Structure 1
Amino acid sequence: MAYPEYWNPKTETLPREELQALQLHKLRRMCEWAYAKSPFHKRRFEAAGFHPDQLQRLDDIRRIPLMTREEWMEAQIDNPLFGDLLATDQTNAIRYHLTSGTSGRTPIRVLDSMKDWDWISEMWAYGFWAFGVRPTDTVYFAFGYGSFIGFWGAHYCCEKLGALVIPGGAQTTEARIKQIIEMGATTVCSTPTYALHMWQKAQELGIDIVKEGRVNKLILSGEPAGSIPAVKRQLEEAWGARVGDTAGMTEVGTIMIFECSHQPGGTHIIEDHFLEEVLHPQTGEPVGYGELGERVVTSFGRGFIPAIRYRSKDMVVRVPASTCTCGRTWDIYEGGIRGRWDDMKLIRGTNVYPRAVEAIIREYASIDEFQIYLWRKDNLQDEITIRLELKPGHEGEWEQLRQQLGKDLANAHEGLRFNLELMEYGTLPHFELKARRLIDARPVAQY
């Protein structure tokens, strides 16, 4: 059976002028809703001297104050559990989720209505359909199904698409691999790290995923590594499948970008449902196509907790829709999410971004897992150590790898010296959800 290329052909190919008119209409409607229903947003709007009536053209969005995670968390602390962000009564909620969290940080807690949840799954449907998921597919979710929002929306999107859904749930990696083979899964969804881990575990079990399985699509989310070329190359070779990236946020409840089957080296923005700005992280001024900046997102879909001009702290480079040959008129983030501005660490005067470090490390196929360890020598000098595990059978390559990797890391970081430490296989943590490979053990935080 021949299927159409687009999930929603009208909006995915909408001429730019019409798309912007649609965005302005939705922006007005969302701001009016937030002003009338959410005490949090009304308070902020009035403090900034903004009223929704001032939105006459898209550029007027800059009248709206930027929203930060810190404000959101402060509101939750002042008025547990959800602060004063809710735009409707809590009894209207059908779902509760929260961010995966970082040690020491208050998680963001969210509620969704039935209407919100239908929209959440619809956004995933845009992305899954664009990458080639069809009713004939069997989709496996290597995901723990906890309170973290993760792949929940994708699960329901696949039901909407008519694909067979297999929830991986609380199983061991070995059990998941065997289920993927047994059920003939054609699509596997996981974080990039866990997809690499599943393949490595299959090797240890003597299972050839390519020969014994039917997987032809890997859909990744949760980490910037999904758009790192070396990671994608490793996964495509290991699984014998095409690899597509997506990215979402608990704050908006779903994905806002996806990689289509044409794989243009980046991810399309779902522009009929999100208004995305790219701003200079210090000045707040807009940056142009091809320039690195910070994603600022306005979501038109979730009404329960409006997200308007929310600072994501994600690093992105926006390029025109014409970069891709798929025919969508939605702009693209070249290289997907490139990391986070607040992940940057200053080591002896040099900026170090974990995503950039991973991009270099993943060029070495013999490396299985790694960890970035920051420490202070004699309370005087900052040091950076990369702890590395090699895949079984590659131990003899260590000395040559150590020398070349050290050079590659230094060349990419203004000559900064990286200490490299070989760890016994299996000693570093392996991750199912978002990988946390950075440990900052310095006595004073660096910014």
Structure 2
Amino acid sequence: MAYADYWNPKNETRPREELQALQLVKLRRLCEWAYTKAPFHKRRFEAANFHPEQLKTLDDIRRIPMMTREEWMASQVERPLFGDMLASEQRNAIRYHLTSGTSGRVPLRVLDSMKDWDWIGEMWCYGLWGFGVRPEDTVYFAFGYGSFIGFWGAHYACEKLGALVIPGGAQATEARIKQVVEMGATTVCSTPTYALHMWQKASEMGIDLARESKVNKLILSGEPAGSIPAVKQQLETAWGAKCGDTAGMTEVGTIMIFECAHQPGGTHIIEDHFIEEVLDPHTGEPVGYGELGERVVTSFGRGFIPAIRYRTKDMVMKVPASLCGCGRTYDIYEGGIRGRWDDMKLIRGTNVYPRAVEAIVREYDAIDEFQIYIWRKDEIQDEITIRLEIKPGRESEWENLQPSLARDLSNAHEGLRFNLERMEYGQLPHFELKARRLIDSRPVAQYG
């Protein structure tokens, strides 16, 4: 059966002028709603002397004060559990989710109405359909179905577009692999790290996923690795499948970018439902195409908790839609989400980004898992150590791998010396959801 190439052909191929006109109309409505219904936004708008009537052009978006995670968290702490963010009564909600959080931090809590949740699934339909998922597919979700929003929206999107859904749930990796093979799954949704882990575990079980499974599409999300070429190459070879990157966030409830089937080296922005500004993280001024900046997102779809000019701290580089041949007029984030500005670590005068380290480490196929450990020697000198696990059966490659990897890391970081430490297989943590591979043990008060 022949299908259209786009989930929403009219909007995905709108001329840029019409797309921007649509964004302006939606922005006005959103700001009017937030000002009227959400005390959090009314308070902030008034403090900035902003009123929705001032939105005459899209450039006027800069009149709106940017919101931060810290403000959101403070609101929750002052008025548990949801702060003064809600634009509707709690009894109207049908879903509750929260961010995955980190040690010592309060997670963000969100509620969604039935209308919000329908929109959340719709956004995933844009991305899944855009990468080639169709009603004939069987889609396997390799995640735990907890309170973290994860792939929840994608699950409902697959049902909406007519595919057979298999929820992986709380199972061991071996059981999931058996289900993928036995049920003839054609699409697997997971984090890049967990897709690599499933492949390695399958190999230990004597299963060749590229030959014995029917998987031809991997939908990746949750980590920047989904757009790292070395990671994608490993996964595409291991699974015998194409890898498509997506990115979403609990704060907006769903994905806002996706990689289309043309695999242009980046992710399209769903611009009829989001405004994605790219700003200098220090000055707040816009940066042009091809320049790194911080994502600042405005989401039109979630009414329960409006997200307007939300500072994500994500590092991105926007390029024109014309660089992809799919016909969409949505601009692209080249390389997807490249990491976070606040993940950058200064080691002896050199900037080190975890994604840049991973891009180099993943060039070495014998490496299974790794960890970045930053510490202070003799309370004076900062050091960085990469802890590495070698895949079973390939231990003999360590002797040649070690000097080569150390050299590549140093060359990419202004000659900074990286210590390499081999760990026993299984000693490092393996992740199903977002991988956290960075440990900085330096005294907090002594570095920025």
C-alpha distance in 1, partners of 2:67/2:211?
Answer: 49
Matched residue SS, 2:444: coil
3-state SS in 2 of match to 1:314: strand
Distance in 1, matches of 2:43 and 2:439, equals 38
What amino acid is aligned across from residue 438 of structure 2 in structure 1?
L
Distance 1:257 1:84 in 2: 28
Cα distance, 1:210 vs structure 2? 1.5
Q: Which amino acid aligns with 2:65?
A: P
Decide which moves more: 242-251 or 397-406.
397-406
Q: Helix, strand or coil: the match of 1:215?
A: coil
Structure 1 counterpart of 2:109:
109
Partner-residue secondary structure (3-state), 2:297:
strand
Does residue 233 (structure 1) correspond to residue 233 (structure 2)? The answer is: yes
Once the two structures are TM-superposed, the CA of residue 105 in structure 1 deviates from its matched residue by 1.1
Deviation of 1:444 after TM superposition, in Å, equals 2.4
CA–CA separation in structure 2 for the residues paired with 1:374 and 1:188: 34
Equivalent in the alignment of 1:174: 174
Any stretches of 5+ residues in structure 2 without a counterpart?
A: none
SS at match of 1:298: strand
- Tell me if 1:257 matches 2:257: yes
Amino acid in structure 2 at the alignment position of 1:268: H
Q: Which residue of 2 aligns with 1:150?
A: 150
Counterpart residue number, 1:245: 245
What amino acid is aligned across from residue 186 of structure 1 in structure 2?
T
| 1-structure distance, mates of 2:199, 2:395 | 19
Partners of 2:399 and 2:433 in 1: CA distance: 32
Q: Does 1:299 align with 2:299?
A: yes
Percentage identity across paired residues of the two chains? 83
**Could you tell me how far apart the structure 2 residues matched to 1:106 and 1:32 are?**
29
2:244 & 2:443 partners in 1: Cα distance? 39
What secondary structure does 1:133 align onto? coil
Distance in 2 between residues matched to 1:444 and 1:90, nearest whole Å: 39
Cα separation, 1, equivalents of 2:247 and 2:428? 26
Runs of 4+ in 1 over 3 A off after TM superposition: none
- RMSD value over aligned CA atoms? 0.5
Query: Per-residue CA shift, 1:164-220, capped at 9, x if unaligned?
Result: 000000000000000000000000000000000000000000011122110000000
SS of 1:201 mapped into structure 2: helix
- Structure 2 residue 210 is the aligned partner of structure 1 residue 210: yes
Partners of 1:214 and 1:225 lie apart in 2 by: 23
CA deviation vs aligned residue, 1:329-383 (integer Å, no higher than 9, x gap): 0000000000000101111111110000000000000000000001110111111
Q: 2:46 maps to what in 1?
A: 46
**TM-score in terms of structure 2 length:** 0.99
Displacement after TM superposition at 1:309 (Å): 0.1
Distance in 2, Cα, partners of 1:18 & 1:421: 55
Distance of 2:248 and 2:428 partners within structure 1: 27
Q: Secondary structure in 2 aligned to 1:144?
A: coil
| Residue 416, structure 1, aligned to residue 413, structure 2 | no
Distance 1:139 1:115 in 2: 24
Q: TM-score, normalised by structure 1?
A: 1.00
Q: CA deviation at 1:73?
A: 0.3
CA distance in 2, matches of 1:212, 1:62: 53
Q: Does structure 1 retain, via aligned residues, the 8 Å contact 2:235–2:243?
A: yes
Secondary structure of 2:439's aligned partner:
strand
Structure 2 residue 379 is the aligned partner of structure 1 residue 379: yes
Distance 2:379 2:358 in 1: 27
SS at match of 1:374: strand
Alignment partners' CA distance in 2, 1:326 and 1:357 = 31
Separation in structure 2 between the aligned mates of residue 111 and residue 266 of structure 1, nearest angstrom:
30
Amino acid at match of 1:337: I
8 A contact 2:210–2:237 mirrored in 1: no
- Equivalent residue runs for 1:58-97 within 5 Å: 58-97=58-97
Deviation at 1:296, TM superposition (A): 0.3
